[in-house]
Amino acid sequence: MAINIIPADQALNVSAIITYIYADPGLGKTSLGFTGDKTISFDFDRGAHRTGELRRGAVVPVQQWSDVANLTPQDLAPFNTIVIDTVGAMLESIKTHLLLNATNRQKDGALKLKAQGLANQTFKQYVNTLISMGKDVVFIAHASEDQNGDQIIYRPDLGGKNRNELYRIADIMGYLTTVTTGEGKHERLISFKPCPTHHAKNAGGLGGETGEVWVPDLKTHPTFLADLIKQAKDHINTLTPDQLAMIRASEEMENFIQSCGEAQYASELNQLTESLDKQHAFYQNMRLAVKNRAKDLNCTFDMQRSAWVDSPEFNGITDAQRDELQDLLNQAGIDVMTFCENNGIDSLISIEAQHFEAVKADVIKQGQGKAVA
């Protein structure tokens, strides 16, 4: 059988894409997922019941990883859109599954480093399988609010390595939030254009020059997400492979440089360095961004360890402060390992003493947010 070869100057038809939406609490991101085309939602966060009449698709209430891992192509045949709600909970589900195997556990019960790599590999393989079936995949994530100097930054509430990987594989990524209009009304919009306040990607050309898409009343617009994904695919399919590759590479570089600017610790720089691809079109620019941020943070590169290390002047929190934070995290129902991963640190002791009160306040705030949710 002859192989279909598409020249570089011809558009490459894309039948399935990855959409990534992250949002502030209570904005209806789960309901938005059900406006996709023939949607099935993998409810890792166990919140689908809160959508009420807006739940227009099938649901898999995930109790354990095998609930979705064992689904067959025949099971998924009736559906065109797979919603992962939330992607952070999905990754935790995979890790919990791997912890059932004693060979994957450290003495303290945490995943071994090799098993963490296996978790990421399992995640990528599963998503690739869905795409190969021709399914559009929609990642839904909670947004986290981080402080970088005087600037507040909103980004997906995921650990550094996972966050960087999802930036890379998503075709479009938007931040769902609320804004106040000139008439004083509160309206929802999704911003697909990256800027200093949030991360985004827009290979689909959504929202014109501003990259902003207003979210209508989903009761009267039941195909909102399906229409959005179709619009993105239609745009992508007008591009040649070279054009699409350059757009994606440019957006990946922008997000990478932005992440470098937000890094506070050597461990975050190491995560960014590990995610670098020497074949990337902008590898040198991205590598330079890491080196510049390391200089700003007074981090040095340890040649023996092949890793960035914090300044010798680093002054970490005390054991008592660590125990206090651990108690607060337990009260808030937040896993310590997940908290450290999300903040790009190896352990609570990696927190600088000068940031203790700010971190403590943030943990209390997160606990209150979970209580409200």
* Residue 150 pLDDT class (50, 70, 90 cuts): confident
Instruction: Answer yes or no: is pLDDT of 177 > 90.
Output: yes
Phi, psi of 99 (to 5 degrees): -65, -20
Instruction: Answer yes or no: is pLDDT of 31 > 60.
Output: yes
- CATH 3.40.50 is held by the domain 18-241: yes
Is the C-alpha dihedral spanning 11, 16, 18, 19 positive or negative? positive
Distance CA 73, CA 54 (A): 26
* Residue 370 pLDDT class (50, 70, 90 cuts): low
The residues near 43 (Cβ < 8 Å, ≥ 6 apart) are 59, 60, 61, 62, 85
Per-residue pLDDT reduced to its tens digit, 287-336: 999 999 999 988 988 888 888 988 776 678 888 888 898 888 888 888 88
Q: What is the mean pLDDT of the chain?
A: 87
Distance CA 179, CA 373 (A): 21
Instruction: Answer yes or no: is pLDDT of 1 > 70.
Output: no
Q: What confidence score (pLDDT) does residue 160 get? A: 65
Instruction: Answer yes or no: is pLDDT of 128 > 90.
Output: yes
Q: What confidence score (pLDDT) does residue 261 get? A: 87
Q: What confidence score (pLDDT) does residue 228 get? A: 96
Percent of the chain topping pLDDT 90: 41
Instruction: Answer yes or no: is pLDDT of 109 > 80.
Output: no
Q: What confidence score (pLDDT) does residue 78 get? A: 95
DSSP states of 303-349 = TTTTEEE--TT--BPPHHHHHHHHHHHHHHT--HHHHHHHTT-SSGG
Give pTM, 2 decimals.
Answer: 0.75
Instruction: Answer yes or no: is pLDDT of 2 > 60.
Output: no
Classify strands 151-156 and 136-148 as parallel, antiparallel or unpaired. Answer: antiparallel
* Residue 286 pLDDT class (50, 70, 90 cuts): very high
Percent of the chain topping pLDDT 70: 94
* Residue 3 pLDDT class (50, 70, 90 cuts): low
Cα 342 to chain center, whole Å?
A: 11
Q: What confidence score (pLDDT) does residue 235 get? A: 93
Cα 356 to chain center, whole Å?
A: 26
DSSP states of 214-272 = E---TTT-TTHHHHHHHHHHHHHTTS-HHHHHHHHHHHHHHHHHHHHHH--SHHHHHHH
* Residue 12 pLDDT class (50, 70, 90 cuts): low
Total length of the chain: 373
Domain boundary assignment for the chain? 18-241, 244-307, 319-372
Instruction: Answer yes or no: is pLDDT of 140 > 90.
Output: yes
